[in-house]
Structure 1
Amino acid sequence: MILWLSTFGFSIASALLPFLPIEVYIVGAGAAEPGVPAAVSLGIAAGAGATIGKIIWYEAARRGIDSAWAQKKLAKPKVKASYEKWLGRMQGRPVYAAVIMFLAASAGIPPLLAMAAVGGLLKMPMWTFIPTVFVGRTIRFTLLFLGVDFALH
Structure 2
Amino acid sequence: MKINGSYYIVNDSLFLNSIPQRDKLIVNEQFNSKRKKENCFNVIDKDYSLLTYHLYIELENGKNLVFRDQFEKTIFPREKIKSFYLIDTKGLKSSTYKIKGQNTNSFHVIFETKRIFENESWLIKGDSIKPKGFDGVFQEYFLSKID
Q: Quick check: TM above 0.5? A: no
TM-score, normalising length from structure 2? 0.29
TM-score, normalising length from structure 1? 0.28
If asked which structure has higher relative contact order (CA below 8 Å, sep 6+), I would say: 1
Q: Return the structure number with greater helix share.
A: 1
Q: Return the structure number with greater strand share.
A: 2
Whose radius of gyration is greater, 1 or 2? 2
